[in-house]
Structure 1
């Protein structure tokens, strides 16, 4: 295919200087179609990658990479020894004990269920970014015996409370009293408000001091479990199991991929389906190459016949049109990759300029948790898109090239 003659003639056929400029126009349209399709794929997938990364970071800013807890639902009494062993493990960045309970929060105006987690403020910094998510108050305000609570922004608004107000925490556990069985409850003082930008936390999470939570749950010196932050979150399933085996006890191991498995699986399916839908644009552009080359073959029948009479083989003729179609596909692919990558890398600046110029906001902060358009270019996606588009372009040349190779010189020159 790269012999000088097929290469020269094939590249020459991509432009028509004297006659039938319509064929060149069709070739240009095919080239631009591939360019636009690849650009759209790269930009859309980069935006989806950016949203996925943003959501993942927000989730993991509050959720641990893995959790070790008692398999029977009771408290861990030997947690100090286990915590010391875990912290020296080579794959562990940080570890923190916690006490967790599903509780009912009673405010002045409303009642809401919430996940109440007892933490040690200093240790919690090793496994989450709660300290940096505080809108008011501080994590250090959680002092043992003070019975203070930190609420999510939306949860506090729903309960109608703010810093300094009282909230009653009602747990599922019950206490036997002379007047019967009563639910275990305690009044807490709101000491702070946090905001993550995720409804799962802002609307349904609360934090108290771990000792206060242990008293509320009647766990004594025990805790619910140990939360872990690992060096490689993608290896969390394997690493967490290995840590549990190294500790030697029996633990219930849960990692972040299990807790949010359905959510991240839905994101992956969405990205895959969007890729297939957008790739149809590239497929349509590739099929335009077929129509363009068929028209070229029809227009160049006499030229093909002359080449054949001069001794050109069918394979040489076939390679001429493969070169032409490949050139269209290659140029379109390169242009699409360059424009798409540049657009994706500078997307936030471009969107910001458009919003400022036309005084609009594409993602209203009052409606969407993520009000910007984050973009994260994955080079493996770019390579896959470019490679697939180029292969489709090459395949689109085979039928027209085969038709050209089967042109009979005598029939083509009969009326010349």
Structure 2
């Protein structure tokens, strides 16, 4: 079935960032969109403001005469709208399977990897400013995770967590790294995991890989555009402009580039975007467009600049936490902050279990570590003795935080145990910590 104007599409679970982005993009292509979810949120309100009819909660009456149903990964076969669609013989696609329909006729720049794919995708959006986009975070440049143009090209943040990246129809493929993650989707089989990445790369016309990655370095390098962060990036320097973080670096023999953000990982993400863009445009256009990048929400997101400075970051894996704290140390030094407080909300018991030793070594660059309860993300609880496991950091164990005017108040149940009102505070996690830091919860 080809995506055509006036195709009626109903999206179940439309309030998630991935499905809401697909909804907006399909609407821009001329489809007639409806949807449903279990509760209201800001994304749903934004879609309603665009005239999209959304049922809250799920309701079988929302299934009428649609041509197609798309549902998010968490929607089960017994969902009342799924059952109604089956009764009506309406074709039903998971988000994963629907990608072939959505992207099949597009020139796709598909970005994948355990870390850095949202940043790399958003940087590509700045460089390819004439392309559409569906990415996994809100770009501050255009204040959305979707750029709903009708361009033949699209920047797409692919997802390895459910193997849907294999359906993303890449013309250009970027793999920032291939660190094992979401192994339940690969039956805990490393061979299957790595073979999936190789299949993704080989499905593209042109692929760019990080050749310093342990697995990617084993692939036949002559088949790909290769990039080594250790060897190809030189003379990195970090600076502030209007209190915003920037880095300047030299890439191969292409000269100097400037991009928003701190850390070697930021330069690395930008470098892969630049190398792909060189296949389409001249170097000076790339250099100019790169400066339009302003970061993405929840990735080193400076939500308050002073008293205290508060940074919100999505980091929920040891590699990401270390990179974020390195960037925070650079920022603290340039701003003359004396101490860094990290507030960590572990994300998923399974991730904590699988990476426990690495997590235990992830907080060396903070002066104070505050640990919140693990965000379960629907998993069964596993007990971890966090004070003992992280004893070398002398952690503060808290239940939640609250924003009060400028300050952050740290609580253990109803007891106020600490007030953060100076220096640098970094929130780390993919759960609701982002709302706690902003005073929205």
TM-score interval (norm. to shorter):
under 0.3
Structure having greater relative contact order (Cα 8 Å, sep ≥ 6): 1
The structure number with the bigger radius of gyration is 1
TM-score (norm 2): 0.20
